[in-house]
Structure 1
C-alpha cells in the first residue's frame, strides 16, 4: 500500500512516523520543499541566533520512509504531481502543508524558514542603536520581539499590533506586556497601513522608520487544496469529514492548519493530535475496524519572553480562557517541555 505525505512539519512528520509503526504494509513517501524538518515555533530563536530550528529529515524519519525534496503542484485521483512533472501514485495521502504568511511589502516574514534566515542575516549586520519593528501583536510577534530584545539589548525593538497580547486574559495580558517593557520593547497598539523604504505608517497617522521590519502574522494556507479542486473554506482550508478526510476524496486525509476543522485555529498544538488521529484512522480502515470521529480539544496557550520568562494561559477544551495562568520560571519550563515534546512526538510518531 502506497502512502504519500505532503508536508514535513509537525503534522506530516508525526503522521508518517506513526503510520509506519501501525501499518506494516505501507510504503511511505514524504514530500517536502526542503530537506529539513523546521520547528516553526522556534523560528524567532533562529532569527536571534539562540537556537537552530532546522533538523535534517533523515534524522527525523523512521527507517523505511522515503524523503523526497520537492513541491506538489496538484493532488487527487490517487496521484500527487510534483513541480518537476513527476507523479507519485498513492492509495492514501496525507495533506499537511500547514499555514502560511502574506507579508506586507517592505517587511520580512518570520513565519517561514526563508524569511527567518533572511531576518537572521540582516539582524546580524545591524550596528548598535538600530531600530527593529515587529508587526503583529499575537504570539509570534510577542516571542519575536522579546527574543530579539534579550539577545540584542543594543537594539531599539518595537512591537506593533492593534492590541498587543489581547488573546490572553487580563492578568496574563498584563504580565506579557510588563515583561516586554522589562526587556525595553516599545509597545504600540495600532495598525500598520504600509511600509515604504523602512518607514511604517500607522492607522493613527503616526509613522516611524526602522532598519529591519519583521512581519509576524500568520494568515491563510497554501493553495494546494484549492488548486487541486478540493472543496475549501474562505481561508483556503480543505473541508474534512469527522475523521479528517477530504469531503471530496476519502483517500486524502487533511491534518494541521490546512484542515478546516470546526473550531480550530492556526496552532502547532493541534497538529499532533490531528495527525495521530488520522494515522490511527488509516490503521482502522486497513484492519476493517469501526472508525472514530476526531474530537477537538484545547489545553492552553503560551508565549516565551526571552529565555528566562514566559506566560502560560490555561483554556477550556473549547479554547475559551480560564482565569488560571502561570508565569516566570514555571511557565518557561512548561513551554520548553511542550516545544521539545512537539519535536519528540513528530520524530517518534507518538502523542495526540
Structure 2
C-alpha cells in the first residue's frame, strides 16, 4: 500500500509515523514545503529569540519513511503532482496542509516559519525605544506580544485588536489582561486598516507609530484542496465524512486545520487526535474491519504570558469553556508539558 502524506506539521508528521507503525507493508512518503518540522505553538518564542521552533524533519520521522521537500501543485486521481511536474502515486493520501495567514501589506506574519524568521531578524535589529505593534487579540497575538515584551523590555509593545483574549472567559481572561498591563503592553481595541514603515493607521482613522508591525492572525487554509477539485466548505476546508475521509474521494483523509469538522478549532489539540483517528480508520479498513468515527475531545485552552507566566482554562470535550483554570508557575509548567508532550507524541505517534 502506497501512502502519501502532504504536509508535515503536527497532523502530518503524526499521521506518517502512525501509518508506519499500524499499517503493515505501507510505503509512506511525506511531502513538505520545507525540510524542517515546525513547532507552530512555539513560533512566538522564535520571534522573540527565546527559543528555536524548528527541528530537522528527518529526525521526527520513523525509519523507512521517505521525506520529500517540495510543493504540491494539485492532487489528481491517485497521484500528487508537484510544482516541478513530478507525480507521486498513492493508494491513500493524508492531506495535512494546516492553516495559513493572510497578512496586511506592510506587516510581517508570525504564524508561519518563514514569517517568524523574518520577524526575529527585524526585531533583533530594532534599537531601544522602538515601537512594535502586534495585530491580533487571540492566543497568537497575546503570546507574541507578551513574549516580545518580556524578552525586550527596552521596546514599546502595542497589541491592536477589536477584542483581546475573547478565546478565554472570566478570571482566566482577566489574568491575561492583567499580564499585558504588568508587562507594559499597550492594548488598543481597534483594527488595523493600513500599515507602512513607521506607522499604522487604525480603522478608527487614528495613526500610531510603529517601527515593526507583526501580523498575528491565523485565518484560512491553503487552496490546494479547492484547486484539486475536492469539495470544500466556505472557508476552503475539506468536507469529510465521520471517518475524516473526503466526501469527494474516500482514498483521501483530511486532518488538522484543513479538515471541515464541525466544532473543531485550529491547533495541535485538533491535529494529533484527528491524525490518530484517521490512521486508525485506515488500519481497520486494511484489516477488513469497520472503521470507528472520529469524535472531538478537547481539554483546555492554553496561553503563554511571557516566559514566566501563563494561563490555561479547562474546557468540556466540545471545547466549551469551564470556569476552572490554572495560572502562574503551574500554568507555565503545564504549557511546557504541552510543548514537549506534543513533540514527543508526534514523533512516537502515541497510542498506536
TM-score range, shorter chain: over 0.9
**Which stretch of structure 1 is more off in the superposition, 139-148 or 70-79?**
70-79
1:136 paired residue number: 136
- Tell me how far apart the structure 2 counterparts of residues 237 and 351 of structure 1 sit (CA, whole Å): 27
The superposition leaves residues 91-113 of structure 1 with CA deviations (integer Å, 9 ceiling, x where unpaired) of 00000000000001110000001
1:337 paired residue number: 337
Are 1:133 and 1:160, in contact at CA under 8 Å, matched by a contact in 2? yes
User: Where do 5+ consecutive residues of structure 1 fail to align?
Assistant: none
1:308 paired residue number: 308
Q: Once the 2 structures are TM-superposed, how far is the Cα of residue 170 of structure 1 from its aligned partner?
A: 2.0
**Secondary structure, counterpart of 2:178 in structure 1:** helix
2:214 paired residue number: 214
Are 1:231 and 1:239, in contact at CA under 8 Å, matched by a contact in 2? yes
- Tell me how far apart the structure 1 counterparts of residues 339 and 44 of structure 2 sit (CA, whole Å): 13
User: Where do 5+ consecutive residues of structure 2 fail to align?
Assistant: none
- Tell me how far apart the structure 2 counterparts of residues 318 and 67 of structure 1 sit (CA, whole Å): 35
RMSD value, Cα = 1.0
Q: Once the 2 structures are TM-superposed, how far is the Cα of residue 141 of structure 1 from its aligned partner?
A: 0.2
- Tell me how far apart the structure 1 counterparts of residues 219 and 256 of structure 2 sit (CA, whole Å): 14
Q: Once the 2 structures are TM-superposed, how far is the Cα of residue 189 of structure 1 from its aligned partner?
A: 1.1
**Secondary structure, counterpart of 2:195 in structure 1:** strand
Are residues 1:268 and 2:268 paired?
Answer: yes
The superposition leaves residues 221-272 of structure 1 with CA deviations (integer Å, 9 ceiling, x where unpaired) of 0000000000000110000000000000000000000000011121221100
Are 2:280 and 2:291, in contact at CA under 8 Å, matched by a contact in 1? no
Q: Once the 2 structures are TM-superposed, how far is the Cα of residue 192 of structure 1 from its aligned partner?
A: 1.3
2:319 paired residue number: 319
Are 2:193 and 2:203, in contact at CA under 8 Å, matched by a contact in 1? yes
TM-score normalised by length of structure 2:
0.98
Across the two proteins, how many residue pairs are aligned to each other?
Answer: 352
2:241 paired residue number: 241
1:122 paired residue number: 122
Q: Once the 2 structures are TM-superposed, how far is the Cα of residue 167 of structure 1 from its aligned partner?
A: 1.5
1:295 paired residue number: 295
**Secondary structure, counterpart of 1:217 in structure 2:** coil
Are 2:221 and 2:235, in contact at CA under 8 Å, matched by a contact in 1? yes
- Tell me how far apart the structure 1 counterparts of residues 351 and 219 of structure 2 sit (CA, whole Å): 26
Q: Once the 2 structures are TM-superposed, how far is the Cα of residue 345 of structure 1 from its aligned partner?
A: 1.0
1:107 paired residue number: 107
- Tell me how far apart the structure 2 counterparts of residues 206 and 171 of structure 1 sit (CA, whole Å): 31
Q: What aligned pairs does 1:146-161 form with structure 2 within 5 A after superposition?
A: 146-161=146-161
- Tell me how far apart the structure 2 counterparts of residues 37 and 307 of structure 1 sit (CA, whole Å): 23
Are 1:198 and 1:213, in contact at CA under 8 Å, matched by a contact in 2? no
- Tell me how far apart the structure 1 counterparts of residues 351 and 178 of structure 2 sit (CA, whole Å): 34
Q: Once the 2 structures are TM-superposed, how far is the Cα of residue 341 of structure 1 from its aligned partner?
A: 1.1
2:24 paired residue number: 24
Are residues 1:145 and 2:145 paired?
Answer: yes
**Secondary structure, counterpart of 2:301 in structure 1:** strand
Q: Once the 2 structures are TM-superposed, how far is the Cα of residue 351 of structure 1 from its aligned partner?
A: 5.2
Give runs of ≥4 in structure 1 deviating > 3 Å: none
**Which stretch of structure 1 is more off in the superposition, 162-171 or 146-155?**
162-171
Are 1:99 and 1:220, in contact at CA under 8 Å, matched by a contact in 2? yes
TM-score normalised by length of structure 1:
0.98
